[in-house]
Amino acid sequence: MITWGIVSAAMLMVHTPMQFYIARFLLGVAEAGFAPGIMYLLTLWFPARRRGRAMALYVMGAPLAFIIGGPLSGWILDAFQDVQPLAAWQWLFLVEAIPALVLGVMVYFWLADDFRKVSWLTAAEKDRIDSDLRAENADKVEHGSVRAFLGSRQLWVFVLIYFCLIMGLYAVGFWMPSLIKRAGVADPFHIGLYCAIPNIVAAIALYLSGRGADLSGRRRLYFAGMLTLGAVGLALAMLIDGGPLTTVACLSLAAAGVYSCISLFWALPTSMFVGASVAAALAFVNSFGNIAGFVSPYLVGWLNVSTGRSDVGMYIIGAVMVLGAMVTMLLPRHLDK
C-alpha cells in the first residue's frame, strides 16, 4: 500500500506520454500483489465456512470507493482549482494518495498475519480457530514442485473462470457512464450520481451473497447464479430503451452480479489449495485473469466499431460471463463447503 501511494502521488509529475506509461506500469506493479495478499491473509484467519463473509466485507470497499471517490474527486478538482503551486489535477493525485500511505503504515504495525500473536483473542478462541483451520487443511492440495503446480488442471480452470468474471467486471465498470449518458443523461455530475446507485446495490448484494453462500454451503451455485445475473443485467441494459432509471436498474443487476462474484470466487481456490500452494495460486490466477481487464474494454470498442452497433460487444461479454458460470459448476462439489 505504501508503494501504491508513493507511485500514485508521483503521477502529479507526469507531463509526457512516456512518463504516463512508466507511471502506470509502476502503479500496476505496486497493485499486483495487493488483492492476492489480502485473500491469502484471510485464509490464515478464517475457516472456509466464514471466509465468504470476510471476503465480501473486503470487496465491499470497491463499490464504496466508487460511491465516495467520485464526489470527492470532483470536490478536490473544484476546491483546489486556484491553490498554488500545483494544478487541481495534481492536487487530486497527491491528496488521494495520502490514505494509502497512512493506512500502509498503520497496517504494518497493527495487522497481525497470525491470530496466535494477537492479545485480543482468548486462548480458547485461538485453539478453536487453529483446530478449524487444521481440520479443513487436511483435505486440501499442496503441490510439491512448480511443475506439479502448473500442471494442475483445477488451477487453469480457476484462471478461465476468473478471466470470464473480470471481462464482465470491466465491461460494467468501464462502460457504465457511457450507457447512462446514452440513456439521456448529459451532465457529468448527474451521470456520477446515477452511477452511484448500482454501486450501492452492489455493496448490499456483496455481503448478502457472501453470507448466503457461507450458510447454505453452495458456493459454486451462488457464484454461477450471480455471474449469470450480471450477464442478464448487462444484456437488458442494451436491449431495453426506457430512459435513465430503467438503464440504472439494469446496471444495478449487472453490478450486483459481478461485484458479488469477486468475493464468491476467491473463496473457491482458497478452499482447494493450502500452504505455499494457496499463495501461489492466488497470485497466478490474479495475474492471468487480470489480462481480461486489458482485453474487455478494447474488445467491446473494437466490436462496436467493426459492426457499427453499440450492443454487440456487450452481448459477447455477457456470453463470456455465462461460460464462466457454466464452467464453475464443473468444479468439485467439496468446494461448496
Pairwise CA distance, residues 14 & 97, whole Å: 15
Q: What is the pLDDT of residue 81?
A: 80
Q: Quick one: pLDDT at residue 146? A: 58
Determine phi and psi for 141, rounding to 5 degrees: -105, 130
| Entry field: residues in the chain | 337
Closest alpha carbon to 291 in 150, 169, 202: 169
Cβ pair 253, 208 in contact under 8 A = no
First to last CA, the chain: 32
CA dist list (Å): 228 to 31, 149, 157, 261: 28, 30, 18, 10
pLDDT of residue 229: 93
Q: Give CB contacts under 8 A, 24+ apart, made by 298-303.
A: 299/167, 300/171, 300/174, 300/175
**What is the arithmetic mean of pLDDT over 285-300?**
80
* Least confident range of 135-149, 176-190, 244-258: 135-149
Which domains, and CATH codes, for the chain?
1-335 (1.20.1250.20)
The residue among 268, 280, 282 whose CA lies nearest residue 335 is 268
- Evaluate whether 330 touches 323 at the Cβ level (below 8 Å): no
- Tell me what pLDDT residue 323 has: 93
Q: Is the pLDDT reported for residue 25 higher than 90? A: no
User: Which segment of 111-120, 144-153, 261-270, 274-283 scores lowest on mean pLDDT?
Assistant: 144-153
> What is the pLDDT, as a whole number, of residue 185?
80
Give pLDDT tens digits for 223-272. Answer: 999 999 999 998 898 888 778 889 889 999 999 999 999 888 888 887 77
Q: Are 281 and 273 in contact (CB under 8 A)?
A: yes
Residue reference for cell 486489458: 294
Coil vs helix vs strand at 178:
helix
Round the average pLDDT of the chain to a whole number and report it. Answer: 82
As a whole-number percent, the residues of the chain with pLDDT over 90 amount to: 10
DSSP code string of 188-229: HHHHHHHHHHHHHHHHHHHHHHHHHHHHHT-HHHHHHHHHHH
Would you state the cell numbers that stand for residue 155, as one nine-digit string? 488451477
Average pLDDT of the segment spanning 272-276: 67
Say what the pLDDT of residue 69 is. Answer: 76
CA atoms within 13 A on the CB side of 302: 8
Asked if residues 171 and 296 have their Cβ atoms less than 8 Å apart, the reply is yes
Alpha-carbon distance of 268 to 300, in angstroms, equals 29
pLDDT of residue 336: 57
